[in-house]
Copies of this chain bind each other. A is one copy, B any other.
Amino acid sequence: MKLGVSPDIVPSRGHEAKRVSIMDAASEVFCRESFAGANIDMIAAEAGVSRQTIYNHHGDKEKLFVAIVRDLTERCNAGIFATISTFPDQPKDLEADLIAFAVRMNRNCICNRDGKFLRKLIQTEGERYPELFAEWREQGPGRTWPAIAARFARLAHAGFLDIDDPDVAARQFMALANAELQTTFMLGGTPDEDEVLQSATHGVRTFLRAFGKRQPAANASKQGALANA
């Protein structure tokens, strides 16, 4: 039997476990060493698998790389859409709810393992695989940004925000939410929970100073509170 995608037959647990283990190790190594710097023996060692097994599963180094980027893209997209679905459409406390959303977005989509790896692989190897990353672009940013923008548009329409261009606002929201994490990202670090909360809090406050209604649509009981910083 030839190897390859066999939709009917589930090979086995051990087999599948090795596949996952290889993918994990490979993304780790490709990410750390770049495509050219990574070598199959490293990946095999880190996966606890023999070199030959990697060739059995994936053919060659380049196919392995492509499989990994596809896999990461898919998982990251899933995470992003799952997080978008928690967007506060009917916020009780707009600021708190948006901060919580920003934290979720950062923690689950930007700072997590997959997000970090995908981002780095795109930056590092993007130019060498134009068609692969064009695919990522369509499936990823091409679909997630409109989805986020739509949520902000809805929130504005419901009277919670004063937004001209939801697309711009969405980008600015995300930019503000991780404005303070950029230097950490640069060096491949992972911001801790506090940094994420800090950045999200400051970012959302600024966002609301720019786009918040003067008087919260729901109850305008005490307007003096929001002047405070």
Residues of A within 8 A of B (CB): 32-37, 119-120, 122-124, 126-127, 133, 137, 141, 164-165, 168, 171-172, 174-176, 178-180, 182-183, 186-188, 202-203, 206-207, 209-211, 223-224, 227-229
Copy number in this complex?
A: 2
Interface majority SS on A: helix, strand, loop or mixed? helix
Known contacts A34-B36, A36-B36, A210-B210; is-contact A168 B180 (Cβ 8 Å):
yes
- Rounded to whole Å, the gap between the CB of A174 and the closest CB of chain B is 8
Q: Residue A126 contacts which of B35, B165, B176, B187 (CB distance < 8 angstroms)? A: B187
Given contacts A124-B124, A179-B171, whether A34 and B37 have CB atoms under 8 Å apart is: yes
Which B residues touch A164, using CB under 8 A?
A: 229
- CB distance A172 to B34 under 8 Å? no
The residue that A228 contacts in the complex, of B137, B165, B203, B224, with Cβ under 8 A, is B224
Instruction: List 7 tightest A-B contacts by C-beta distance, closest first.
Output: A36-B37, A175-B179, A209-B210, A210-B210, A34-B34, A36-B36, A175-B175
- Find chain B residues with CB under 8 A from A227 CB: 227-228
Known: A34-B36, A175-B176. 18 other contacts (CB 8 A): A33-B36, A37-B37, A119-B186, A122-B187, A123-B123, A124-B124, A127-B187, A127-B188, A141-B183, A164-B229, A171-B179, A172-B176, A172-B179, A175-B182, A176-B176, A206-B211, A209-B210, A209-B211
Q: Write 30 A-B pairs (CB below 8 A) sorted by A numbering.
A: A34-B34, A34-B36, A34-B37, A35-B37, A36-B36, A37-B37, A119-B186, A122-B187, A123-B123, A123-B124, A123-B186, A123-B188, A124-B124, A126-B187, A126-B188, A133-B187, A141-B183, A171-B180, A171-B182, A172-B179, A172-B202, A175-B179, A175-B182, A206-B210, A207-B210, A209-B210, A209-B211, A223-B228, A227-B227, A227-B228
Nearest CB in chain B: distance from A5 CB, A: 19
User: In the complex the two chains form, is A32's CB within 8 Å of B127's CB?
Assistant: yes
**Complex Cα–Cα for A141 and B184 (A):** 11
